[in-house]
Structure formats: structure tokens, C-alpha cells
Structure 1
Amino acid sequence: MARVTLAQGRIGPVGLWIMAVVASSPLTVQVGGIPTMYAATGVAGVPLAFVLVAGVLYVIGIGYVGAAGHMSHAAPLYALMGRGLSPVVGIAAGVCALVGYLAIGTSLYGLLGMTIVGLFGFGQWWAWALGALAVVAVLGLVGGLGNVGFLGLLLAIELAVIVFYVVTALAERQGPLTFASFSPSALLVPGMAGTVAFAMAAFVGVETVPAYAEEARGGAPSVRRAMLAAIGFVGVFYAVGAWAMSVHAGLGGVGQIGSDAGGGPLQTLSRVFGPAMGALATMLLVTSVVAAMSSFHQAGTRYLFAMAREGVLPGFLASTSRSGETPVAASLTQTSLAGLVIAGFALTGADPLGVMFTWLSTLGAVVLLALLVVASAAAHRFFASGQGGNDSVLMRRIAPATGFVLGLLLMVMMLANLGSLLGLPPGSSRWLLLPALAVAVLLGGLAWGGVLRVVNPAVLAGVGRVVADPVSSPVRRLSRMVM
């Protein structure tokens, strides 16, 4: 018989950390994101931008995971908005999160398909994308520590490649070893807002940790430590990678990064260690993207499952495997939706990189980061309404208020530079399509919440309040005990 709870105690703090960092896709950021930041802005202070954004997200994270820890909900943004602001807003936030994870997850299929075509020189991008979708679908159904272990192995390899590149870039630097790119004067120049916008997009994925709270071993403390550790690690790691790239090019050459065909990380490794090393690094880029897609798939699946369990979405999505380790129906639905998106872009002949990857990834980043900022306000209201426990003043008041203000400033910078994020020419107004689409999704979510308020008000009363029963929920570590 189908269960309505997920197996508890199956993912430890390290596994939670892995899922967050994998979603951020470090190798993709190092190979594509950071060179694009330098090329688009010409700002030497890219490393400092990563540190700045990491600091703001860390403050936001304190309040967010602090409040989410009192819920242990598989759809944390939905639950926090529902209990901190209003049930209708919570439903709208859940719909936005679903669209955000679907958008950023499916955007990677265009990147992966074109990367494999470039690597092997044959096939259609969509055919490779569908093959990757099958892999992600299997990973989504596996569940348990096997999935985390596989993604952890891929993450370890890609981090090793980045470290290898950093050492190589520093050894082959064009000038003296300098830390000038970390000075405020390197970032406080025209183009700073665009640099911060790109840096914010690179962090998408670290907010997924609370979605595994129901399955976490160690409860709320493990979730809190894992998410904050992921933010800190990603910020430092990206800053070091960007710094090594700027040192390699020389401070006077950062504007050429991205346009220099031989200066990228993969090209540098190929030039120094031979084409075989470059091909291996490219293959690892492919596995990095697959790992990120799997992580976003898992997060989106849990939102579908949790919202269906509370009656906001069709009930069949709340069914799980016999062991309770996998939300089967939600996972298959997530796979089907991704397949439809891939098919839509393939049939229309849209550019898988310039349109599919760029627009969908930007849409997902804007929606998810905006939700994270609003979550600070929801966390403040959550604690102010008497919910929570014996939490510190930092967690209840200071972090949510400060995080909201600072996050709002960063979001303004991001929205003001959507044209650059989308690669549009100066003066183009096509970037307005993206916020219009995001607003349409928000209004759709609010409308659905309004409908439920009228036709089934009992559903709204349970928004964010249905969690795993510690007595009846399957616990992986106890499943083999003989009584």
C-alpha cells in the first residue's frame, strides 16, 4: 500500500551538503559562468562579488533554515510562506518553486546536449538530452543513499578538476601573484550590479537542503549546518576559481576572458596536459550537468509530493515506493514535464544554448532567488507570530530582517541586469518577457489558492502543516531490525 511519508533518517549532513553543492554545478560555473561574468562586465572584482553574495545568502539562510527547521517539510518555501504569510501566498510560492526548479533543471538539457554534440561530433542535441533525461529519471527512482553516493562521487571528481585548473592557472600566470581582485575598488566600478547579478545566479541550488528535512538524519540541526556550509563552501570555492582565472589572465586582461578561445579552463588544461585531459574535463562537465539536473529533479519532486499530500495538488502525486524512499508518482511526473519542455524546444527549432539554456536558467534563478528573499520576510512573521521555539534573537529577528533588506537590494541589481544575463544587445526590451512570465506564474498560483479557499477551505488550513509522523514513517536504519 502506498505510504504518505518519506523514509526518515536516510540522508546525513554530508549527503545534504552534497545535494546542495551538486545543484549549484561548480564545474559549469567555473567553465561557463565565470568567464561569461568577466566577458560581459569587464569587472576585475568578480571574486569579491562571490564573497559578497555568499555573505548575504548566509544571513538569509540563518532565518530561512531556522524557521524551516520547525516544520521539517518537504516543500519548505511553500510551507514557510503558508505559515509565515498566508496559505494562499504559500500555494503561490509552491507553484513558483515548481516552475523555478523545472525551468532551471530543464535548461541544463540544452547545455548538455550541445556539449555532447561538440564532444563527439554527431547526433542531435535533443537526442542526447532525452538520453540524459532517462538517466535522471532512473536516479530519481533509485532513492536512498545510493543516489547521494553516486552524486557525491561525481561532485568529488569535478571539484578535483577545478582544483587542478586553479593550480595550473596560478602556475601559468601572466603576472605577479596578486589579491587585487578582492579589493573593494575592483568591484565598486561601473558593471558592479551586473557582476553581482551573475554571481547570484551561480548560487541557485544551495536553497534545496530544507526540502530533504523529512528524510534528514539529525533533524533540523543537520539541515541548518548543511545549508549554511554549502553557501560558505560555494562562495569560497567560486571566489578562488574566479581569482585564479584573473591571475592567469593578468588584471589588465580580464576583459578578454571569455572571448579568448584558448584561455578557458578546459582549453588551459588541454594546452598544458594534452587534448586527452581536455576531453576528460569535458566529459566531467557533462557528468556535472547530469548531477545538477538530478538534484533539481529531486527538489522539484519533493515539492510535488508535499503539496499533493496536503491536497493542493492531485492526490496521486503523494504516492511513494514501498520503502518510502521515493515519491514515485511525483518523480515520474517531473520527468514527463521535463520531456515535454525538451520536445517543445526541439520541435520549434529554438537554439538550445542561446534560448533554452539561457532563458530557462535565468527564469529559474530569478524565481528561486526571489522566493528566498521573500522567505526572510516570512521567517520574520513566522517567529513574530509565536511559532517556533527557544530560538536566538539572531535567528528570529536580526537575520530575517537584515537578510530581506540585503537580499532585496541584490534582487534589484539582478532584475536591472536581466538583459546582460540573457545576452541581449544593449537597448533591447525583450528581457521584459521574463519578469512578465514570472508574474504570470505568481498570479496563477494566487488564483489557484483563491479557488481552493472557496471550494475546499480545509486544504488551506493544512498548508505547511502536514509532516512525517515519526511513529508510522519508515525509518531506513530500523527497517532491518528483527523483533
Structure 2
Amino acid sequence: MPSRTSEPETSTYEEPERALRTGRLGTPGLLFSVLAAGAPLMAVAGTMPTAFDATGVVGQPLLFLVLGVVLGLFAVGYAEMSRHVRNAGALYAYIARGLGPTAGACAAHGALVAYSALQVGVYGVFGFEVSSLLDTYRGVTIDWWVPALLAVALVGGLGRLRIGLNARVLGVLLLIEVALVVVFDLAALAKPATGRLSPHAFNPHALEHGSAGIALCFCVAAFIGFEQAPAYAEETGRPRVVVRRVLFLAVGLVTAFLALSSWALTLAAGPQDIVDSAQKQGSGLLFALAGKNLGTTFGDVLHVVFVTGAFAALLGLHNVVARYVFAMGRDGLLPAGFGRTSPTSGAPAAGSLFQTVVSVAVVAAFALTDHWPAGDPTAPVTHLFTWTGSVGVLGVVLLMAAASLAVIVFFVRRGEARAQLWRLLAAGAAGIALLGIAAYSVRQLPVLTGAGPDDALTWALPGIVVLALLVGLVYGLVLRARRPGAHAGIGLGEEACPVPGALPGPRGPGARESGRGTRL
């Protein structure tokens, strides 16, 4: 078996074609990958104006700080778990190790649907924005789905390459979009609309008008992405250090960025006028304020970078889904062919192809129902983003809540409850908060999606998440009955013995650390 010292590009897994290549990512590469998937510019230009418009809450910056605390508590237990579990299945692997293989199978299918939905929704945004830019600056009119499908092909091609190359692409695109938003933020701080820096948006009284609960549901979507760091653990040289570091860096940086940028929006428009401005400008609010404060050229450049930022998010989410598919194929939750990597790049090529096919199918389905003029976002491109985005965010938040419980059970079963007490308390508090946000999101789904109170979407969208979880549950139960060895290996990943018919190592509290990681 090759060692990591002599061959850092090769995993310690006994079948290299069933393993991701180690040593491909360091702290910067992993940080760029997870932050880009969170689409920071899309959050500022899309999520924030929509939340101001739909909820009338001026105190968004305060809500971002509150969510930062909640997700920081989540990261405490989640990061500690990353020191014991090294698996591309990330959320579902953690749940399997804490709550059992059947729960892991359930979570795996839920994660696959949730992250796929998030990515496909962004194709709608990307397609419409490219279509609009071409119409505005070149007088070329094309349907949104044309650039969307071209993006599917390009992202699919990049997803089959070395993760190191992907990380560099994501890093460049991420730095550009963040830099431009920071320039806007500084301009708003230097020249606020009212002539003075108002801290009103951070005042709890700013949450009294409007629906703070619904605003919280919008805001949590802007944080999705940081929890993806463990999905790359097998491709880092020092996963116990790098993944943990990136999780805390990501939560801290995203919280600061979102709180500052939402405050800058209120300053640029004026705390008393931000809601009215959002209702009038919609998703064009950021670009209008940027053009007003920094000139039309800057506003135009920011709009173009919005498109490149959306592409970065597509690539980041695609990479995550490909790794989930790979992990599921390796664990027997999908056909075994998906659990193999490219012999040249070491990337999960079959998983990448899987997500490309899914994206083409969904974009094509929405395109076939599009009878509106080119460049009109009324439907179905708006539906593609709002519907799939709602499914994705709800699914991820539920999985994060389940992962919090899994962290607690994992360490209690290992007999480490006393040593890890403060981390378990943090995980419990975060889990309760996340479960509450998920429940409230389901209740307020008509507002979040723009559907009527009696619309079938109010039950159909959460029904997709429930259906995915049920499919995973049934599959897990069938696997336990028919292939107990494979069932026992769910969530073990490269720690499972790859010899056909062999059972994985013990899962009990007395499990010892092996040279390949923590084996339970």
C-alpha cells in the first residue's frame, strides 16, 4: 500500500480508482471552493434586496450577526467531528457515524437532492442575466436557457479536471466579486445617503417592523456553502487541521461580509428608504446604488461580475454534488460505477457526469414550458430559481440540524461526553435553532416563493425533500436486510475495507484509531 509521504497524489485507499487524490487542496484552495459556492455577490444583489422587499425588515445586518452566532455554534461540533471522520459524503457521512447507517442513507439522498436543487436554480439566474446583458449591451436577444445550457456544458467539463485547477478558477472569480462589493461597501460608509453613519440597522428595534422571522429564513440561504468543507477532506493533505480551520474561517468571513454589505445597502439608500428602494428596484437595487455612488461604469462592471460570480457558484456546487455522488457510489447507495474517479485527474468524473445530466434535464424541462418573450424573467426562469432554491435550502438546513444531533450521539457513544461537553452543548443549541428555522421556513413558504396560500407549492416543495429522505430511508432498510455488510459500511468511505465481501471495522465505543483515520 503506497504511503502518503512517497506518493502524496495517491490515497491510502486500497483501490486507487475508488479514491479521491490526497494533497490536492490546502487551506486557501478549500476556502475559495466553499466560499465561491456560497455566491457572496448573489447574496448581496439577490437575497438582501428580496428580503428587504418581502419582509420590510431594516435590521438585516443584525440578523446576519445572529445567524453567524448560530452557525458558529454549529461549526464547533461539526469541526470537531471533522477530526474523526474523513469522508467526501460530509453531512451524510457524519449522520451515518452518529445516528447509524440507515439514517446515513436517508441523509445521503436528501443531500443529493438538496445540493442538486441549489445548483440547478443558479442556472436559471445565470441564463437570465447573460441574456439580459447581451440584450442591453449588444442588442442580441436570446432565450435564457441557451446560456444556461452552455454553462452546464462548461461546468461539467471543468468538474472533470483536477480539483486544484478548479480551486484556482474559483479563487480568481471569488476575489474579484468580493473586492468589488467591498469597494461598494466602503463608498457607502464614506458617503451615506443621510450624510451620517446610522447604526439603526443593528438596533433590535429595527426588527420590530415587518416580519423578522421570514427575513431570517431569507438570510440563512446566504450562509449555505461553508458546511461543504468536509466534502473535500479526502483531497486535503492535513484534513484534521485544514477542514477545521476552513470551517471557522468561512463562518467568520461570511458573517462579517454579509453584515457589512447589508448595512452598506441601508446606508447607501438610507435606513428609512431601503425598503421602498428594494420594492422599486428589486434585484437591481445593488447595481442602481453602485451606479449612483461610484458611476455607471462601476455599476455595469459589477453587473458583469455578478454573472461570473454565479458561474463560480455553479462550479462550486457542481464539485460538491459530484463528491456526494462519488461517496454514495462507493458506499453502495448508488451504482458502484459512480464510486470511481478519473485515472488522469483523480476527480469524481462519473459524479460530475451525473450532475451534468440532471442539470440538462431540469433546465430543459423549464425551457420547454417557457412561452414568454426572450429576456422576460416572469416565468419559468424565476420559478426555476425560487422553487429549487427553496428545496435546496430547506434540505440543507434540515441536514445540518440532523448533523448536530449526530455529533452529540457520536461522542456520547465513544464515552467522550464529559470531555466534549461544551462542544455538545453548542451542537445542541445550534441543532434546535436550525430545526426551528426549517420549521418556520415551511410555514412561510408562500412568502418565500411568492406562491398563494392555497397553492400546491406550499406542500409540493417540502414534499420533494420529504420524498428524498423517505427514498433514502427505504433504501437503507432494504440494504440492511439484503446486504448487511454494505449497510454497515455506509459513512465509512475509505476507512471501510475494500476487499469484496469483507465487513468494515467495528463501530463501537472501544474502536481504535488506525493509520487510515478513526475507525469506529
**TM-score using structure 2 length:** 0.86
SS at match of 1:264: helix
Query: Which residue of 243, 249, 260 maps to 2:263?
Result: 243
For 1:267-286, list aligned pairs within 5 A: 267-286=288-307
What is the alpha-carbon distance in structure 2 between the residues aligned to residue 387 and residue 369 of structure 1?
28
Q: CA deviation at 1:203?
A: 1.0
Mapped pair 1:102 → 2:116: yes
Mapped pair 1:80 → 2:108: no
Q: Which residue of 1 aligns with 2:181?
A: 162
Q: Which residue of 1 aligns with 2:148?
A: 129
What is the alpha-carbon distance in structure 2 between the residues aligned to residue 117 and residue 324 of structure 1?
33
Paired letter, 1:41: T
Q: Which residue of 2 aligns with 1:353?
A: 381
What is the alpha-carbon distance in structure 2 between the residues aligned to residue 72 and residue 60 of structure 1?
18
Q: CA deviation at 1:190?
A: 4.3
What is the alpha-carbon distance in structure 2 between the residues aligned to residue 303 and residue 253 of structure 1?
44
Q: Which residue of 1 aligns with 2:321?
A: 300
Indicate if the aligned counterparts of 1:321 and 1:328 stay in contact, CA closer than 8 A: yes
Q: Which residue of 1 aligns with 2:402?
A: 374
What is the alpha-carbon distance in structure 1 between the residues aligned to residue 241 and residue 214 of structure 2?
35
Indicate if the aligned counterparts of 2:160 and 2:345 stay in contact, CA closer than 8 A: no
Q: Which residue of 2 aligns with 1:424?
A: 451
Indicate if the aligned counterparts of 2:86 and 2:233 stay in contact, CA closer than 8 A: yes
Indicate if the aligned counterparts of 2:366 and 2:381 stay in contact, CA closer than 8 A: no
Q: Deviations over 1:161-213 (max 9, x none)?
A: 10121123334422121112111221244401011111111111111101001
Q: CA deviation at 1:450?
A: 1.7
SS at match of 2:341: coil
Highest relative contact order (Cα 8 Å, sep 6+), 1 or 2?
Answer: 1
Greater fraction helix = 1
What is the alpha-carbon distance in structure 1 between the residues aligned to residue 337 and residue 156 of structure 2?
18
Query: Which residue of 14, 18, 23 maps to 2:37?
Result: 23
Q: Which residue of 1 aligns with 2:205?
A: 185
Query: Which residue of 64, 68, 76 maps to 2:78?
Result: 64
Q: Which residue of 2 aligns with 1:477?
A: none
Change (3 A) 1:354 1:67: same
Q: Which residue of 1 aligns with 2:236?
A: 216
For 1:360-399, list aligned pairs within 5 A: 360-386=388-414, 392-395=420-423, 397-399=424-426
Mapped pair 1:153 → 2:184: no
Q: CA deviation at 1:18?
A: 1.2
What is the alpha-carbon distance in structure 2 between the residues aligned to residue 56 and residue 186 of structure 1?
20
SS at match of 2:281: coil
Identity %: 34
What is the alpha-carbon distance in structure 2 between the residues aligned to residue 428 and residue 161 of structure 1?
40
Paired letter, 2:317: F
Q: Which residue of 2 aligns with 1:265?
A: 286
Paired letter, 2:36: V
Q: Deviations over 1:273-306 (max 9, x none)?
A: 4443333211111110111011111111111111
Q: Which residue of 1 aligns with 2:216?
A: 196
Q: Which residue of 2 aligns with 1:435?
A: 462
What is the alpha-carbon distance in structure 2 between the residues aligned to residue 305 and residue 441 of structure 1?
18
Point out the more displaced range, 226-235 or 401-410. 401-410
Q: Deviations over 1:123-169 (max 9, x none)?
A: 11111001111221122011232110110000000001101211233
Q: Which residue of 1 aligns with 2:125?
A: 111
Paired letter, 2:145: W
Q: Which residue of 1 aligns with 2:509?
A: none
Indicate if the aligned counterparts of 1:2 and 1:321 stay in contact, CA closer than 8 A: no
Point out the more displaced range, 37-46 or 404-413. 404-413
What is the alpha-carbon distance in structure 2 between the residues aligned to residue 408 and residue 101 of structure 1?
18
SS at match of 1:119: helix
Change (3 A) 1:3 1:221: same
SS at match of 1:400: helix
Indicate if the aligned counterparts of 1:161 and 1:281 stay in contact, CA closer than 8 A: yes
Q: CA deviation at 1:35?
A: 0.7
Q: Which residue of 1 aligns with 2:431?
A: 404
Point out the more displaced range, 425-434 or 234-243. 425-434
What is the alpha-carbon distance in structure 2 between the residues aligned to residue 233 and residue 12 of structure 1?
18
Point out the more displaced range, 425-434 or 448-457. 425-434
Q: Which residue of 2 aligns with 1:460?
A: 487
Q: CA deviation at 1:6?
A: 0.9
Indicate if the aligned counterparts of 1:23 and 1:205 stay in contact, CA closer than 8 A: yes
Query: Which residue of 349, 355, 360 maps to 1:334?
Result: 355
Indicate if the aligned counterparts of 1:20 and 1:206 stay in contact, CA closer than 8 A: yes
Q: CA deviation at 1:338?
A: 1.1
Point out the more displaced range, 147-156 or 82-91. 82-91
Q: CA deviation at 1:393?
A: 2.8
Change (3 A) 1:303 1:84: same
Paired letter, 1:200: V
Point out the more displaced range, 34-43 or 264-273. 264-273
